[in-house]
């Protein structure tokens, strides 16, 4: 999953760089709200059924009946949501700044089909086989989107690339699914809905963290209060750049959820407790130095990678990088809480943080623009993380890798001094000089952090099976 997500990030990152340089910030200020609206509409279109299906299938009983019940529940919901979007076509187009409502509905249907196939595969404990699906959409966005750009389609070309990737994901995903669709029963449908009512609320929290800032900024664009579509494009590029460091954490979390669910069904609490600190450490070892590096190189990163007009988001990028530290904890704690079959508590945390996120974004974007959006999102998600830790600790003992994280802070400080010194001596004018400075910082950090024996031992423990597999 990590390798797949690394390629996914690489293709997506390359696409953002190319489209930013070719199109500029304003067209991206239409494309990103398109994705944000997909997230908004996707909440009622899914209603938590995808996550509930993952959970029930991973428990290992009556898989065919659960899959049949899930499809019967999900299909009419998606159709109704699509019809409602077409009824309010005028307002959808106004939000997007272009006549895209019909294309939006088609993309929604295809995206829902692909996402649900991945939920089924994960419920089969075949998480590794979803790896290829993780790569398809960003690769298609890059290749197909660029071809349409060359044909003069502009922002529509980006959407066509995203749609084509989603279609491939759906086709390959359902081709891989091995569970036959069984006869649905009221009992199985009720079981899915019992879990879905809470996982749907939790998914709201995930959406609010990912897209509510873009949605609120776009509303400010529509009403004409000073935020431009170029600002929206620059902010989302900063967000995506900060998100790169979450590759490890997300890969572990996706892989861990069905396994935690199985352990919970077997009452293997000790295995859950031992897995959490081991899962948290790799992500923390990346997000801490990433924040320090961003603190020094923020403006250079945006200018060299995307172009001068994107540097308006340099301070927002620093705040967003800081926000990845609590997110690295949350992404695993939330999976653990849902994995032990307590989506109700995850939903409580999600509702509280979502309300805070919305309020913070409206107030702080109005007052501070892009930086306000970054602060609002970071603060709300920090609250979400604390609530998940509080609830999870009621059922399992959480042991955070505090000493290892402390040493990572020390190593990041040493790295920061080296990067700052090098930055003052070397003018960063090209992607090569930028990569050179980043590489030096990475080598310094890696050398210092591995001086701490517990981290070195954990790295050897994780890497040894990979080395043995590669050499066998």
**Alpha helix (H) ranges present in 180-313?**
186-223, 229-243, 247-265, 269-305
Question: Residue 390: is its pLDDT beyond 80?
Answer: yes
Question: Residue 469: is its pLDDT beyond 60?
Answer: no
Question: Residue 294: is its pLDDT beyond 90?
Answer: yes
Q: Are 315 and 371 in contact (CB under 8 A)?
A: yes
What is the percent of the chain with per-residue pLDDT over 70, rounded to a whole number?
Answer: 89
In this prediction, residues 254-275 reach a mean pLDDT of: 67
Write out the two tokens for 339. Answer: 């994995």
- Tens digits of residue pLDDT in 38-83: 888 887 777 778 878 877 787 767 788 888 888 888 888 889 988 9
Average pLDDT, the chain: 83
Domain layout of the chain by residue ranges: 2-400, 401-463
- Tens digits of residue pLDDT in 170-223: 898 888 888 878 887 888 888 878 877 776 766 666 666 677 888 888 888 887
Of residues 299 and 253, more confidence is placed in: 299
According to the model, what pLDDT value does residue 359 have? 92
**84 pLDDT tier (thresholds 50, 70, 90):** very high
One-character DSSP codes across 249-260: HHHHHHHHHHHH
According to the model, what pLDDT value does residue 44 have? 78
Question: Residue 20: is its pLDDT beyond 90?
Answer: no
What is the percent of the chain with per-residue pLDDT over 90, rounded to a whole number?
Answer: 17
Write out the two tokens for 346. Answer: 């995850």
Q: Which long-range contacts (CB under 8 A, 24 or more apart) does 111-115 make?
A: 111/38, 111/42, 111/166, 112/42, 112/45, 112/46, 112/74, 112/78, 113/170, 113/173, 113/174, 114/166, 114/167, 114/169, 114/170, 114/173, 115/46, 115/50
According to the model, what pLDDT value does residue 63 have? 80
């Amino acid at each position: 999953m990590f390798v797949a997500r690394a390629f996914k990030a690489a293709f997506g990152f390359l696409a953002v760089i190319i489209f930013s340089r070719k199109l500029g910030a304003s067209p991206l200020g239409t494309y990103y709200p398109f994705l944000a609206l997909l997230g908004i509409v996707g909440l009622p279109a899914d209603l938590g059924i995808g996550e509930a299906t993952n959970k029930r299938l991973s428990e290992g009983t009556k898989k065919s009946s659960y899959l049949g019940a899930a499809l019967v529940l999900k299909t009419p919901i998606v159709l109704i949501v699509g019809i409602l979007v077409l009824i309010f076509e005028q307002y959808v187009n106004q939000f997007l700044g272009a006549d895209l409502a019909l294309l939006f509905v088609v993309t929604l249907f295809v995206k829902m089909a692909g996402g649900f196939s991945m939920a089924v595969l994960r419920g089969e404990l075949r998480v590794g086989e979803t790896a290829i699906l993780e790569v398809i959409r960003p690769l298609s966005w890059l290749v197909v989107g660029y071809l349409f750009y060359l044909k003069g389609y502009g922002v529509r070309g980006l959407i066509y690339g995203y749609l084509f990737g989603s279609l491939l994901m759906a086709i390959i995903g359902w081709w891989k699914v091995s569970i036959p669709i069984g006869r649905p029963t009221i009992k199985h449908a009720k079981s899915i809905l019992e879990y879905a009512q809470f996982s749907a609320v939790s998914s709201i929290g995930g959406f609010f963290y990912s897209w509510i800032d873009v949605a609120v900024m776009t509303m400010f664009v529509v009403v004409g209060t000073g935020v431009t579509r170029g600002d929206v494009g620059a902010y989302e590029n900063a967000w995506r750049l900060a998100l790169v460091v979450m590759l490890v954490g997300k890969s572990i979390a996706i892989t861990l959820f069905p396994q935690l669910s199985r352990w919970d069904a077997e009452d293997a609490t000790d295995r859950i407790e031992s897995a959490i600190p081991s899962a948290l450490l790799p992500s923390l070892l990346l997000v801490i130095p990433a924040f320090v590096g961003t603190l020094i190189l923020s403006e250079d990163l945006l200018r060299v990678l995307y172009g001068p007009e994107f540097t308006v988001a340099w301070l927002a990028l620093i705040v967003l990088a800081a926000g990845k530290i609590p997110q690295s904890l949350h992404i695993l704690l939330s999976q653990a809480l849902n994995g032990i079959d307590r989506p109700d508590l995850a939903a409580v945390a999600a509702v509280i943080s979502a309300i805070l996120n919305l309020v913070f974004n409206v107030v702080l974007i109005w007052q501070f623009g892009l930086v306000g959006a970054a602060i609002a999102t970071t603060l709300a998600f920090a609250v979400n993380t604390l609530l998940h830790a509080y609830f999870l600790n009621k059922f399992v003992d959480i042991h955070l890798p505090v000493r290892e994280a402390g040493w990572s802070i020390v190593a990041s400080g040493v790295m920061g001094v080296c990067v700052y010194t090098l930055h003052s001596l070397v003018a960063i004018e090209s992607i090569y000089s930028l990569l050179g400075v980043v590489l030096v910082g990475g080598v310094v950090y890696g050398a210092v952090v591995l001086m701490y024996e517990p981290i070195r031992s954990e790295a050897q423990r994780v890497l040894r099976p990979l080395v043995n597999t590669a050499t066998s």
